[in-house]
Amino acid sequence: MKRALVSVSNKENLIPFVKELINLEYQIISTGGTKKLIENAGLPVIGISEVTGFPEIMDGRVKTLHPKVHGGLLSLRDNPKHLAEMSANHIEFIDMVVVNPYPFKQTIEKEGTTFADAIENIDIGGPSMLRSAAKNHKFVTVVCDSQDYNTVIEEIKANGDTTLETRTRLAAKVFRHPASYDATIAEYLTHQAQETDPESITLTFQKKQSLRYGENPHQQASFYAGKKQGYSMAWAKQLHGKELSYNNIQDADATLNIVKDFDEPVVVAVKHKNPCGVGIGKNIHEAWQRCYEADKVSIFGGIVATNQEIDEQTAEEMKSIFLEIILAPSFKEKAFEILSTKKNIRLMTYDLDCKQQESKMFISVNGGLLMQNLDNYKETLEDCKVVTEKQPTQEELADMLFGMKVCKHVKSNAITLVKDKKTIGVGAGQMNRVGAALIALEQAKNAGYTDGIILASDAFFPFDDVVKLAQQYGVTAIIQPGGSVRDEDSIKACNDAGIPPLRSAAPIGRAYGAWAQNRPLPHGCADLFFA
């Protein structure tokens, strides 16, 4: 008679599976709560202590770490020496292991979990049995996922045993499983130890979906989810529309990254990972109108996200243009009905909860990985200093902070133009700052904006050329993170033009160059903020 050792934390579909194994003449060995569950179902089961001749001790910490368990799993059945040693030590074969470890990840995600609770949910015996069985998969079937129960039963019924091909596949899954399990524990303990720069990192993600293709049709792609957190495409729910693409996910992620920087009602539109329109208002409809007015051309085929529920009026207006995705915390019932009449539009909800946003971001490079903290910094007026003679108005100050929030998410070199709580020009990804400024300024001019414009830059001005160019297009206030050795040139140009610039006291966004945090701040530039 073959023997299966069954000890699982996830007991989904376990009893039907065990019944099938018993019908196929397997003897069931089990431990703790799993054994009780099998007994309560009226099925025959042997306790692990009957196999080892040793009691479960230390509150279950030690029960399967025994030669009669691991010898039964690891012995090579075509090796006479192993067989002789098994006989001499009264060890019997274990032909199958069905194990999934203690739910460490689920435990640490619970509110109020203590460090002691987390430690007790680090499984030692379970992963050890999985590894032993997987190593010896030539002879032993190992199952760590209830999704594989049917396959195992069907093959045993058909062949008398699982196939080597299946055992190899299951073994590969098993080694991925403990690796992910250990990585989660390592990340948790690293955080507890307050290590920010460990000598190595192991990342773990679970497959969310296969994608039709990647950035280009010839590239294969999949989407994997990490730990659950707010403002996350990995944990967003699709309610309607066609399947997401690789590029959709990247653009939607960029959209949510902008949204999370705003507390007031905001609507953000993104194309090719850059904002093409951002608007704030007293309600979501007003924010939408400002977002749409920002760039009525580029928003076509874009991705839109809000930080408040979408109402019927807003839905009607969104429906009138072609949008790829609309992301919101929720949709009013009527709003959803309106938008879902469009067959292909993706309607998605996401979680606003940011409690888990204190995490790292990773960017792959060839042969390596860059890691840094997520940029959750939100600049305030207290972080800024007027450095020109002219003082900005309160309205200008509000638009300057708004512009800098958006500029943070524009690819450098980046220039953002703002007026009346909406973007009116965005210059992104240019090789020089003048080129980025010119793109944004021409966009604003073509839209009819010629005065009272706020300009935000993601880095300092090494020359006064951007200031002089901005003056020609009706810019009346500038915010930028100073730090150039030639800051005074730009400040003088602002003073000559009567433009107030601000300098902020903390680094902002993706600026390239030195930050001026520790440098004395020059005085006399009114609407220009330097960070």
Tell me how far apart the alpha carbons of residues 98 and 73 are, in angstroms, rounded to a whole number: 12
* Sign of the torsion formed by the C-alpha atoms of 465, 466, 467 and 473: positive
Query: Which residues, in sequence order, are bridge partners of residue 207?
Result: 224
Which one of the listed residues 11, 19, 82, 135 is annotated catalytic? 135
DSSP letter (8 states) at residue 84: H
**What number of helices (H) and strands (E) belong to the chain?**
18, 22
Tell me how far apart the alpha carbons of residues 333 and 337 are, in angstroms, rounded to a whole number: 6
Amino acid at 133: A
272 annotated active-site:
yes
* Sign of the torsion formed by the C-alpha atoms of 252, 258, 259 and 265: negative
Which one of the listed residues 11, 82, 173, 272 is annotated catalytic? 272
First-to-last alpha carbon distance for the chain, in angstroms, is 74
For 31, the token pair is 């431990």
Residue 434: its H or E element = helix 433-446
Q: Is 173 helix (H, G, I), strand (E, B) or coil?
A: helix
Pairing of strands 360-365, 368-373: antiparallel
Tell me how far apart the alpha carbons of residues 348 and 238 are, in angstroms, rounded to a whole number: 4
**Cα dihedral: 508, 514, 517, 523 (round 10):** -100
Tell me how far apart the alpha carbons of residues 162 and 181 are, in angstroms, rounded to a whole number: 26
CB 271 within 8 A of CB 323: no
Backbone region of residue 413 per phi and psi (left: phi > 0; alpha: psi in -120 to 50; beta: other values): beta
Point out the residues that are catalytic: 135, 272
